[in-house]
Structure 1
């Protein structure tokens, strides 16, 4: 399979705080949406088809019940929060056309990450009508307490609302690269290669997994609990426009050549990097 990033999961303590932070950085944030297992999100959609999923625990009792019922999504979110704190970047999600097939593939190659998850929830479209959207998830174990992977199949894509906001004041058009660090031994390369469906490309000691719409960069490190996600790199239309917005919003950033670096803050647990898209 030739993998394509669907979205990135960013646990947060509070969606209200996360929304305020992301708005300060010039992102357009969708309305809060509740899952049927105790979590909620407020997504940020991009024109390249990728998106961010800030995720909060909205009902502790429901989340605990979901974990007891072997809900892999909620269980892994809980593991991340216990091992890495309440905020950060916990998971990479790939697009799937057949999550049941992908689940079997993960098991066959020894990287199964837990029971598959099917769920549905109500969504409100731009026309104001309420529809039911259904999803099927299959999980991979990437050998880390701090980072996991899964695929997402939309079972009735027509139920999802159209016209979601992808025009962001900061000029972000999508995810370009994901920076990670961790062990680069043969076992790690095998696991990641099976999940991403492509073999790594080495540049010195750094490895890249080139996907259909972005790249995953793995830098060597020896964390006790496996791979960690360090930063998201976005491509923007005009870097000076992005910098000007940060200045007006009093959002702290560092300039490193032709990139802007925003370090983690409350409501934003991952480092964000902004680069001008090559013309």
Structure 2
């Protein structure tokens, strides 16, 4: 009996661990090469955080991702999210520096964060007064979004009934991480280059793939690429039953190669 309960405990522990985000998703969300605390880093105008957001101002996607990493990497000590909306600018030793007045909603204390968007740090640190985001924090924050994808899967006709839901969740991924992180060309190339298939169908299946790649990584499911592909195939079968008259081109063939 003792052996049985030990085995059951291990299963529960394993299931709980599987619900935390995958390590790869954490690397997408947070700054690369992120270390511990380093006095003055980010809180002194002499040592701003070099996000590199404006190193190529024409690359809007990269700019958005670098800005998102700033907001995603850190939290208040109690794990709550940080409001980065109060931003100004000033002159630093390397040029123009952004300064954020971060107000802790619990203690009402303010942390002034200095950020250099024109240079990229090779190593990042945690500013004093903040903490590094954890898997547990992210799992809690992402739970409502993963639940929305469960809702999408349960719908009888997601293409017709879940358009707003799909739009909102794709926007969340785009703003927090970037859509490009979930694009697998080997799984999506033939779908998106099919000249005979209806464009609305192609875009819909592309979105389904992105959402489920995010879902798999958010729950740390094995083989996230395979999971997303299988979900896209299953959704195509459901789509065909609901919309048999829409031109599918060679999608049925290409999805089953």
Shorter-chain TM-score bucket reads under 0.3
Look at both structures and tell me which one has the larger radius of gyration over its CA atoms.
2
TM-score by length of 2: 0.26
TM-score by length of 1: 0.25
Q: Which structure has more helix as a fraction of its residues?
A: 2
Q: Which structure has more strand as a fraction of its residues?
A: 1
